[in-house]
Structure 1
């Protein structure tokens, strides 16, 4: 018979050690969560910024393929059937927008053209939105412009104005900027935001010249 007492099993000590480690881990997680919930707003990550609408900024989109050229003496009509040409607006900065009811981007940007017209009411600026809709779509085109006051209705029933300008319009919408001298000072192909600061900068520069 041995004189040494039997060694006590060590399983109990090991179990307590494992439980202790687990409790420390849980405490650490709880501490981190508590710190995150009480973190000052100034230290929290800033939310992602909304994507900029730079692709529709007038100043960025402005092109100059025909600066200094006179627009064509091509006739279009007002709502009363009066024949007009771009020369009839000489003395004003003219924003001549070519559009159609079948053109979705044209209809999207039209309210911003209306805002531009409101901004410059009483100043020598004319926003001239010329529809190239055929006669069968005139009622729809007139109703749409009526929803975008103070814009007036103009129409090119033969839809030839986009090809009469040089170079020809690349698509719809196309917008020409004419100076007070009646000459082209820039144009924009495609949809643009005419209510933004870029548009105001372009128009103010044309007014100053």
Structure 2
């Protein structure tokens, strides 16, 4: 059994405000005081891993060491079956745009268009099955760690729809629904998302009993 998180301060190792909001909402019932890496001024480590697990652990360990507090990191992305699982761990890279003052630029509409363009190259019969993956990694300052993996299956739609969510949410229609993640209220998305799936596994081990 992995070490248990105790109520108190927990660094959320992200500079992504959308991810931070989702994780804070999921952690709210468990007595955790969430501090973001951004508000603590922590640098973003290079994500040199080739899997979601590796990248989540890189971020969690870097934040735990820098802040001397337990840290929770998320690494997630969209995989498209017809594209051989791409963009996968390179999900954010596909959104890289021109830098702006204060940090790198991310253009998610450009990224969604890139996915759609690559599908279009395969013709109208190309399957549109896809899935979101999420790995939540917890790291402690002494090097202890734990990981939890989640997944949400769906299909891609075009053009993008909805104004909620972030990333590729406007083109992702989860199985069993006709709306995109970006058209769902946050509470609805939290109930069925890849992050919620991973978080349920984290809760079962960290907070149950």
Please identify which structure carries the higher strand content: 2
Say yes or no: TM over 0.5.
Answer: no
TM-score, normalised on structure 1? Answer: 0.25
**Larger RCO, structures 1/2 (Cα 8 Å, 6+ apart):** 1
TM-score, normalised on structure 2? Answer: 0.25
